[in-house]
Structure 1
Amino acid sequence: MLVVNKPMALIGLFLLLIAAFCPILQVQIIFKLVSWTLYKTDVRLFLITYALVALMGLSFFVRQLRAFKILTRVMFGWVILMAVAVYFKSTHYFNFKIADNLLGKTIHFEWGWIILLIGSVLLLFSVKKPTLAS
Protein backbone atom coordinates (compact mmCIF):
# COMPACT_ATOMS: atom_id res chain seq x y z
CA MET A 1 0.00 0.00 0.00
CA LEU A 2 1.28 3.44 -0.91
CA VAL A 3 0.69 6.79 0.77
CA VAL A 4 0.80 10.13 -1.02
CA ASN A 5 1.64 13.43 0.60
CA LYS A 6 -1.09 15.34 -1.26
CA PRO A 7 0.12 18.92 -0.69
CA MET A 8 3.62 18.00 -1.81
CA ALA A 9 2.29 16.20 -4.90
CA LEU A 10 0.00 19.08 -5.85
CA ILE A 11 2.81 21.63 -5.44
CA GLY A 12 5.08 19.42 -7.57
CA LEU A 13 2.46 19.11 -10.31
CA PHE A 14 1.83 22.86 -10.19
CA LEU A 15 5.56 23.61 -10.49
CA LEU A 16 5.86 21.31 -13.49
CA LEU A 17 2.91 23.03 -15.15
CA ILE A 18 4.36 26.48 -14.44
CA ALA A 19 7.74 25.45 -15.86
CA ALA A 20 6.27 25.74 -19.39
CA PHE A 21 6.28 29.51 -18.98
CA CYS A 22 9.70 29.81 -17.34
CA PRO A 23 12.82 30.61 -19.37
CA ILE A 24 14.90 27.49 -19.99
CA LEU A 25 17.71 28.83 -22.18
CA GLN A 26 19.20 32.26 -22.70
CA VAL A 27 20.55 32.78 -26.21
CA GLN A 28 22.58 35.78 -27.25
CA ILE A 29 21.79 36.77 -30.84
CA ILE A 30 24.09 39.54 -32.06
CA PHE A 31 23.68 42.10 -29.22
CA LYS A 32 20.32 40.96 -27.90
CA LEU A 33 19.58 38.38 -25.20
CA VAL A 34 16.62 36.11 -25.93
CA SER A 35 15.08 33.74 -23.38
CA TRP A 36 13.57 30.53 -24.69
CA THR A 37 10.91 28.47 -22.96
CA LEU A 38 10.73 24.70 -23.23
CA TYR A 39 8.38 24.99 -26.21
CA LYS A 40 10.78 27.25 -28.12
CA THR A 41 13.75 25.02 -27.28
CA ASP A 42 12.33 21.81 -28.71
CA VAL A 43 8.68 21.00 -29.36
CA ARG A 44 9.22 17.25 -28.89
CA LEU A 45 10.74 17.75 -25.44
CA PHE A 46 7.80 19.99 -24.55
CA LEU A 47 5.18 17.48 -25.73
CA ILE A 48 6.82 14.48 -24.03
CA THR A 49 7.26 16.42 -20.79
CA TYR A 50 3.68 17.59 -20.63
CA ALA A 51 2.33 14.20 -21.69
CA LEU A 52 4.14 12.79 -18.64
CA VAL A 53 2.74 15.59 -16.46
CA ALA A 54 -0.78 14.92 -17.77
CA LEU A 55 -0.46 11.17 -17.09
CA MET A 56 0.86 11.89 -13.59
CA GLY A 57 -2.01 14.27 -12.91
CA LEU A 58 -4.53 11.75 -14.18
CA SER A 59 -3.08 8.90 -12.11
CA PHE A 60 -2.97 11.17 -9.03
CA PHE A 61 -6.60 12.25 -9.32
CA VAL A 62 -7.96 8.75 -10.05
CA ARG A 63 -5.84 7.35 -7.18
CA GLN A 64 -3.69 4.97 -9.21
CA LEU A 65 -0.78 5.36 -6.81
CA ARG A 66 1.42 2.64 -8.25
CA ALA A 67 1.27 4.28 -11.69
CA PHE A 68 1.81 7.68 -10.06
CA LYS A 69 4.94 6.41 -8.28
CA ILE A 70 6.34 4.94 -11.50
CA LEU A 71 5.59 8.13 -13.44
CA THR A 72 7.26 10.32 -10.80
CA ARG A 73 10.46 8.28 -11.18
CA VAL A 74 10.18 8.45 -14.97
CA MET A 75 9.66 12.21 -14.79
CA PHE A 76 12.70 12.73 -12.57
CA GLY A 77 14.84 10.70 -14.96
CA TRP A 78 13.33 12.57 -17.91
CA VAL A 79 14.23 15.99 -16.44
CA ILE A 80 17.83 14.89 -15.87
CA LEU A 81 18.06 13.32 -19.33
CA MET A 82 16.50 16.41 -20.91
CA ALA A 83 18.99 18.76 -19.23
CA VAL A 84 21.93 16.61 -20.34
CA ALA A 85 20.55 16.35 -23.88
CA VAL A 86 20.04 20.11 -24.18
CA TYR A 87 23.56 20.73 -22.86
CA PHE A 88 25.19 18.30 -25.29
CA LYS A 89 23.08 19.52 -28.20
CA SER A 90 24.09 23.12 -27.53
CA THR A 91 27.80 22.33 -27.15
CA HIS A 92 28.12 19.72 -29.95
CA TYR A 93 25.72 21.01 -32.57
CA PHE A 94 27.99 21.41 -35.60
CA ASN A 95 30.64 18.74 -34.82
CA PHE A 96 33.16 21.48 -35.58
CA LYS A 97 35.15 22.56 -32.54
CA ILE A 98 35.37 26.30 -33.25
CA ALA A 99 31.68 26.68 -34.11
CA ASP A 100 30.62 24.54 -31.14
CA ASN A 101 32.72 26.65 -28.75
CA LEU A 102 31.12 29.83 -30.09
CA LEU A 103 27.64 28.35 -29.84
CA GLY A 104 28.33 27.01 -26.34
CA LYS A 105 29.34 30.50 -25.19
CA THR A 106 26.12 32.07 -26.46
CA ILE A 107 23.69 29.57 -24.89
CA HIS A 108 23.21 29.56 -21.12
CA PHE A 109 20.83 27.65 -18.87
CA GLU A 110 18.17 29.74 -17.13
CA TRP A 111 16.27 29.31 -13.86
CA GLY A 112 13.43 27.31 -15.44
CA TRP A 113 15.51 24.14 -15.04
CA ILE A 114 15.51 24.68 -11.29
CA ILE A 115 11.69 24.88 -11.30
CA LEU A 116 11.51 21.63 -13.32
CA LEU A 117 13.95 19.89 -11.00
CA ILE A 118 12.24 21.07 -7.79
CA GLY A 119 8.84 19.97 -9.11
CA SER A 120 10.11 16.54 -10.09
CA VAL A 121 11.93 16.06 -6.76
CA LEU A 122 8.79 17.04 -4.83
CA LEU A 123 6.82 14.49 -6.82
CA LEU A 124 9.51 11.87 -6.33
CA PHE A 125 9.36 12.19 -2.53
CA SER A 126 5.58 12.59 -2.30
CA VAL A 127 4.90 8.84 -2.62
CA LYS A 128 6.12 6.39 -0.02
CA LYS A 129 5.28 3.14 1.68
CA PRO A 130 3.84 3.62 5.17
CA THR A 131 6.02 2.55 8.06
CA LEU A 132 4.50 0.10 10.50
CA ALA A 133 4.91 1.39 14.03
CA SER A 134 4.97 -1.44 16.56
Structure 2
Amino acid sequence: MELSGRCLCGTVRFRVGGEPRVHYCHCDMCRRATGSAFAVLAWVPSQSVAWINATPTYRRSSPIAQRGFCSSCGSPLSLFYDASPDEVALHVGAFDNPAPLEPRYNYGSRQRLGWVCCGIDLPHHDTEERW
Protein backbone atom coordinates (compact mmCIF):
# COMPACT_ATOMS: atom_id res chain seq x y z
CA MET A 1 0.00 0.00 0.00
CA GLU A 2 1.44 3.40 -0.95
CA LEU A 3 0.07 6.42 0.87
CA SER A 4 0.77 10.13 0.61
CA GLY A 5 0.17 13.19 2.72
CA ARG A 6 1.14 16.75 3.43
CA CYS A 7 1.01 19.62 5.87
CA LEU A 8 -1.77 22.20 5.70
CA CYS A 9 0.10 24.59 3.39
CA GLY A 10 1.64 21.85 1.20
CA THR A 11 5.26 22.81 1.86
CA VAL A 12 6.08 19.40 3.39
CA ARG A 13 4.78 16.36 1.55
CA PHE A 14 5.45 12.67 2.12
CA ARG A 15 4.97 9.23 0.62
CA VAL A 16 5.06 6.04 2.62
CA GLY A 17 4.86 2.37 1.71
CA GLY A 18 3.70 -0.56 3.77
CA GLU A 19 0.86 -1.24 6.13
CA PRO A 20 0.75 1.34 8.96
CA ARG A 21 0.00 0.30 12.55
CA VAL A 22 -2.63 2.86 13.61
CA HIS A 23 -3.82 3.78 17.10
CA TYR A 24 -5.44 6.48 19.20
CA CYS A 25 -3.02 8.06 21.68
CA HIS A 26 -4.53 9.61 24.79
CA CYS A 27 -1.31 10.56 26.58
CA ASP A 28 -0.97 14.12 27.74
CA MET A 29 2.14 14.64 25.58
CA CYS A 30 0.15 13.91 22.40
CA ARG A 31 -2.76 16.03 23.60
CA ARG A 32 -0.49 19.02 24.13
CA ALA A 33 1.41 18.47 20.86
CA THR A 34 -1.78 18.34 18.79
CA GLY A 35 -3.96 20.72 20.78
CA SER A 36 -6.65 18.06 20.72
CA ALA A 37 -8.19 15.48 23.05
CA PHE A 38 -6.07 12.70 21.52
CA ALA A 39 -3.81 11.96 18.57
CA VAL A 40 -4.32 9.36 15.85
CA LEU A 41 -0.93 7.99 14.82
CA ALA A 42 0.15 5.69 11.98
CA TRP A 43 3.43 3.89 12.74
CA VAL A 44 5.61 2.90 9.78
CA PRO A 45 9.26 1.92 9.28
CA SER A 46 11.38 5.09 9.19
CA GLN A 47 13.06 4.05 5.94
CA SER A 48 9.67 3.74 4.19
CA VAL A 49 8.98 7.49 4.50
CA ALA A 50 10.04 9.76 1.64
CA TRP A 51 9.82 13.48 2.40
CA ILE A 52 9.06 15.57 -0.70
CA ASN A 53 9.73 19.30 -1.32
CA ALA A 54 10.97 19.85 2.24
CA THR A 55 11.59 17.92 5.42
CA PRO A 56 9.85 18.66 8.69
CA THR A 57 11.45 20.82 11.34
CA TYR A 58 12.12 18.75 14.46
CA ARG A 59 11.73 19.72 18.09
CA ARG A 60 12.48 17.66 21.17
CA SER A 61 9.07 17.38 22.81
CA SER A 62 10.21 15.35 25.82
CA PRO A 63 13.28 13.55 27.15
CA ILE A 64 12.21 10.47 25.14
CA ALA A 65 10.88 11.83 21.83
CA GLN A 66 11.01 14.46 19.15
CA ARG A 67 8.27 15.69 16.84
CA GLY A 68 8.32 16.91 13.27
CA PHE A 69 6.20 19.79 12.01
CA CYS A 70 6.01 22.17 9.07
CA SER A 71 7.98 25.31 9.84
CA SER A 72 5.74 27.31 7.46
CA CYS A 73 2.26 26.43 8.77
CA GLY A 74 2.97 24.58 12.03
CA SER A 75 1.12 21.36 11.10
CA PRO A 76 2.21 18.45 13.31
CA LEU A 77 3.48 15.63 11.09
CA SER A 78 5.57 13.05 12.92
CA LEU A 79 6.74 11.55 16.20
CA PHE A 80 10.04 9.71 16.78
CA TYR A 81 10.85 7.88 20.01
CA ASP A 82 14.57 7.73 20.81
CA ALA A 83 14.21 4.07 21.85
CA SER A 84 12.66 3.11 18.46
CA PRO A 85 14.74 4.78 15.72
CA ASP A 86 13.54 2.31 13.09
CA GLU A 87 9.95 3.54 13.17
CA VAL A 88 8.13 6.84 12.94
CA ALA A 89 4.53 7.81 13.64
CA LEU A 90 2.78 10.04 11.13
CA HIS A 91 -0.35 11.96 12.11
CA VAL A 92 -3.30 10.35 10.35
CA GLY A 93 -4.91 13.74 9.68
CA ALA A 94 -1.95 14.65 7.45
CA PHE A 95 -2.65 11.80 4.99
CA ASP A 96 -4.34 12.67 1.69
CA ASN A 97 -6.77 9.76 2.18
CA PRO A 98 -6.97 8.88 5.88
CA ALA A 99 -10.17 6.81 5.54
CA PRO A 100 -8.46 3.39 5.35
CA LEU A 101 -6.20 4.16 8.33
CA GLU A 102 -8.53 2.86 11.01
CA PRO A 103 -7.13 2.74 14.56
CA ARG A 104 -6.72 -0.77 16.00
CA TYR A 105 -5.94 0.03 19.65
CA ASN A 106 -5.65 2.78 22.28
CA TYR A 107 -2.43 3.95 23.89
CA GLY A 108 -2.06 6.00 27.06
CA SER A 109 -5.49 4.74 28.10
CA ARG A 110 -5.26 5.79 31.75
CA GLN A 111 -4.93 9.38 30.54
CA ARG A 112 -8.00 9.22 28.29
CA LEU A 113 -10.38 12.09 28.96
CA GLY A 114 -13.65 10.80 30.41
CA TRP A 115 -15.79 12.26 27.61
CA VAL A 116 -13.77 10.68 24.76
CA CYS A 117 -15.74 7.70 23.49
CA CYS A 118 -14.00 6.76 20.22
CA GLY A 119 -12.31 3.36 20.11
CA ILE A 120 -13.73 2.34 23.47
CA ASP A 121 -14.10 -1.28 22.27
CA LEU A 122 -10.47 -1.54 21.07
CA PRO A 123 -7.59 -2.99 23.11
CA HIS A 124 -6.00 -0.61 25.62
CA HIS A 125 -2.31 -0.08 26.46
CA ASP A 126 -0.86 2.32 29.01
CA THR A 127 2.21 4.47 29.31
CA GLU A 128 4.00 5.55 32.46
CA GLU A 129 5.20 8.87 31.00
CA ARG A 130 3.35 12.06 31.88
CA TRP A 131 4.16 15.56 30.71
Normalised-by-shorter TM-score class: under 0.3
Greater relative CO, 1 or 2 (CA 8 Å, sep 6+): 1
TM-score with structure 2 setting the length: 0.24
Q: Which has the higher helix share?
A: 1
Q: Which has the higher strand share?
A: 2
Structure (1 or 2) with the larger CA radius of gyration: 1
